[in-house]
Chains A and B, each alone.
Chain A
Amino acid sequence: MALDDDMREALDMFITEARDLVQGLEEGLLELEDQPGGGETVNAVFRAAHTLKGSSGLFGLQHLVEFTHVVETVLGSVRDGVLDVTPGLVSALLPCTDHISAMIEGLAGGRLEPDAAQAADGARLLAGLEPYLADGSAMTAGPVVAAPDAPPPEMAWRLVLHFGEDCLRNGMDPLSFLRYLSTLGTVTGVVTVTDRLPEAADMDPESCYLSFEVDLVTAAPKTEIEAVFDFVREDSDIRITPAESQFDTYVRAIRAMPENDRIGDVLITSGAVTELEMAEALRIQQERVVREGNQPVPIGEILIEQGIVPRAIVDAALTRQRRTTETRSQDTRTIRIDAARLDKLIDLVGELVIAQSSTGIPNSAGPDTSSEAQGEVMRLVDEVRHSALSLRMVPIGTTLRRFERVVRDVCMELGKEVSLVITGGDAEMDKALVERISDPLLHLVRNSLDHGIEPAGERRKHGKAQQGTLRLNAYHDAGNIVIEVADDGRGLDRERILAKAIERELVAPGTTLTDSEVYNLIFEPGFSTAETVSNLSGRGVGMDVVKRNVTALRGSIEVETARGIGTTIRIRLPLTLAIIDGFLVGVGPSSFIVPLDRVTECVELPPGPLGRDCMNLRGEVLPFIRLRQIFGVPGQPARRQNVVIVEQSGQRTGLVVDSLLGELQTVIKPLGILFSRVKCISGSTILGNGEIALILDVGPLIAGHSDREQTRQAVPVG
């Protein structure tokens, strides 16, 4: 920026002023730290930052504007009571005032731009303020100056201006706007429309009753013409349309535009409609849907009806939109897949698997001559299933890399040094799973940073590298995907966990537990060893929720830890949610599938009195549920019944069934909406013989049963 003498003088003035402001800022902050309540001090501090920003902008000192903008935003939150003054906040802000001061001294020394070291300093300080910003939205500031392209051609416009009655009282003179228009281009005609003029007796001399129709020829874009009337838009009606002679120009412009499948974007990009007008049209569209409850009127129709664009231009945009849709459908390299269609495909393939498996049953009538062909079919079907499933597979790396930012931010907040190492980002898993595992992972990462990795000082004392390491690793293992969150922190404290568990009455005192049993206690509801609930981990999501989420995805979670060396949390998930390994059982004519990972063993039901609901399993009492009874299956139970023993949250329960039919891979088909309230069944599948088997949801089944048991026992018998 070249400075003439007047500006140089003004800049000197600014520097003097800024020095005072920074000093005021600093003193105010220190005062606030002593007396956090001081309302006037808060105001003064905020005003100082605000003024600094405003003045810097005036001189085009973008680096100062950007920096002080963030400081101002934080102070604004303090003033509005959103943020409390804490020593942490003050110590984050004080170095900022030093930095501002350094930038100003730089100015005084004739440097209008910060040097590299200063810029890096600034970035670091801003990062320190980030936790105090409401949503990070305040990180950018200042005017965005777009470099103009080649001068656009002149266009003719028709402006219809109905000024509001309050216009003059608001200090807005219609004539002054008309005069200003001539600075944008050439006003080729003005017609004054007087049809709003009332009878002389009713006329208020302070009110404006005039409308104007203006013809303007200008190279300025429509948004710029629109901006002329920014100050009167609220109570006036301003219409800016291309003059009729210009329709062709727009139609040509729209035809030449790059692909776009949204008519709104086409119209806005072409300049025929501004974003403000589009927003207004969308509002009208929405309003009508609410009022009339009909299908929304096409946006193009509304734009025409409101007189914003002529039909010819909307039609051109519609054609452009259709062309785009057509060309897109020819593009085969990348596709976007509707999730419902994909699910359908997987369902169909699943059925194919079933159809194929029924032909695999040895035919008792005659020799099996087609076994070779069947083998081939099986192989193909298997391949089809794999490729269909792979459509839903995405690499987990994207999700893991998102944690880089989390780690950086959390470290900043905690003042720890941690490097994040991600390995195995290429491992693929079901998209639905990726989305649902991201929150539990986030919690584990935060937990490791907060409780696992020690502060630098403590690490040095223990002879560890000052910088901690957090590893995220993913790999495939026997049809599962394993995700590890490993830190090299202090490890879990067995004694403390046990003491806490006893205190929380999760474990009876004196119980002997193995190490892994103790470590697994951290997943129990209501367990937390952190002495102080920190901002990070105290967000109400505990390890129990993590475990619950993982279990809901039919996964498992385990801990491996060594005192002083670190902790690894390992999540094991199935690759997809669409296919499970099941255990097929029969009850009378019905078949049920128990998820295989829940089944621990099967035994024969020992003979005993009919009413009893528990049995002796190697000296332990095992409660059981008669599926026949619970699902109301008609008929007599088989002479010899079996018990499938399932485990849920460490609790074992038996399921009494007639027959055990063996393991099978089954494709889960969701139940229809009619059955959405059914608790104990998670889905259904079609068996090789065409019959339907219901898939049991073991958790609710057991929980529901023990509830019923308690109710029954509570009612006195008699």
Chain B
Amino acid sequence: MAKTILIVDDSASVRQVVSIALKGAGYEVITGNDGKDALTKLNGQRIHLIISDVNMPNMDGITFVAEAKKLPAYKFTPIIMLTTESQEDKKRQAQAAGAKAWVTKPFQPEQMLSAVAKLVQP
């Protein structure tokens, strides 16, 4: 069965492009508009990988990751944070919260695919 990936980003176009790329590679994709929205998507699903932006309205990515990591079902789930080169401190915060993988924005869809493939194969 295909592996499921949750994409959390407040930009619809980012969600769309990443979804297209991941679906093309054979993954299932679900999306969340921000941290708060994404938390509601975690229940009742089997999610193999989470990709989350840092800067989002309602609930930012770091809080979301920390919350998700508290759930027993997501204790071992790999999380990719979308960081920027100008935000080294955010990257460290995200890692402390439990997101040990990252992709630096701006990225090309291929870069995202290779990061995902290291952690979860479709």
Shortest CB distance A428–B (Å): 43
Contact B121 A176 (CB under 8 A): yes
Interface flag for B93 (CB, 8 Å): no
Which residue from B18, B106, B119 sits with its C-beta under 8 Å from A231?
Answer: B119
Shortest CB distance A239–B (Å): 18
Not counting A142-B106, A170-B100, A232-B100, a sample of 14 additional A-B residue pairs whose C-beta atoms are within 8 angstroms of each other reads A9-B16, A18-B13, A44-B57, A50-B105, A55-B14, A60-B108, A65-B106, A171-B79, A171-B98, A172-B101, A173-B119, A228-B118, A231-B118, A231-B119
Interface flag for A530 (CB, 8 Å): no
Q: Chain A residue with minimal CB distance to B104?
A: A143
Shortest CB distance A23–B (Å): 15
Q: A59-B17, A179-B121 are in contact. Are A50 and B78 (CB under 8 A)?
A: no
Shortest CB distance A46–B (Å): 8
Can you list 19 A-B pairs with a CB-CB distance of less than 8 A? A6-B20, A10-B13, A13-B13, A17-B13, A47-B57, A53-B84, A54-B106, A55-B14, A58-B14, A58-B17, A143-B111, A170-B98, A171-B100, A172-B119, A173-B78, A176-B118, A206-B76, A231-B100, A231-B118
Q: Of residues A10, A54, A58, A73, which shows the largest number of chain B Cβ atoms within 10 Å of its Cβ?
A: A58
Shortest CB distance B9–A (Å): 8
Complex CA gap A218/B107 in Å reads 25
Shortest CB distance B64–A (Å): 15
- A-side interface size class: 35 or more
Q: Give chain B residues whose Cβ lies under 8 Å from the Cβ of A18.
A: 13
Complex CA gap A11/B14 in Å reads 10
Contact B117 A17 (CB under 8 A): no
Q: Give chain A residues whose Cβ lies under 8 Å from the Cβ of B118.
A: 176-177, 180, 228, 231
Contact A58 B109 (CB under 8 A): yes
Contact B20 A7 (CB under 8 A): yes
Complex CA gap A44/B58 in Å reads 12
Contact A57 B86 (CB under 8 A): no
Contact A57 B78 (CB under 8 A): no
Interface flag for A168 (CB, 8 Å): yes
Interface flag for A616 (CB, 8 Å): no
Which residue from A13, A58, A176 sits with its C-beta under 8 Å from B108?
Answer: A58
Contact A56 B20 (CB under 8 A): no
Interface flag for B12 (CB, 8 Å): yes
Q: Give chain B residues whose Cβ lies under 8 Å from the Cβ of A73.
A: 86
Which B66-122 residues sit within 8 Å CB-CB of chain A?
75-79, 82, 84-87, 95, 98, 100-102, 105-109, 111, 117-121
Q: Give chain B residues whose Cβ lies under 8 Å from the Cβ of A10.
A: 13, 16-17, 20
Contact B76 A169 (CB under 8 A): yes
Q: Give chain B residues whose Cβ lies under 8 Å from the Cβ of A51.
A: 10-11, 14, 55
Contact B100 A57 (CB under 8 A): no
Q: Of residues A9, A54, A228, A234, which shows the largest number of chain B Cβ atoms within 10 Å of its Cβ?
A: A54
Shortest CB distance B61–A (Å): 12
Shortest CB distance A229–B (Å): 8
Contact B55 A58 (CB under 8 A): no
Complex CA gap A57/B84 in Å reads 12
Complex CA gap A595/B108 in Å reads 68
Q: Chain B residue with minimal CB distance to A177?
A: B118
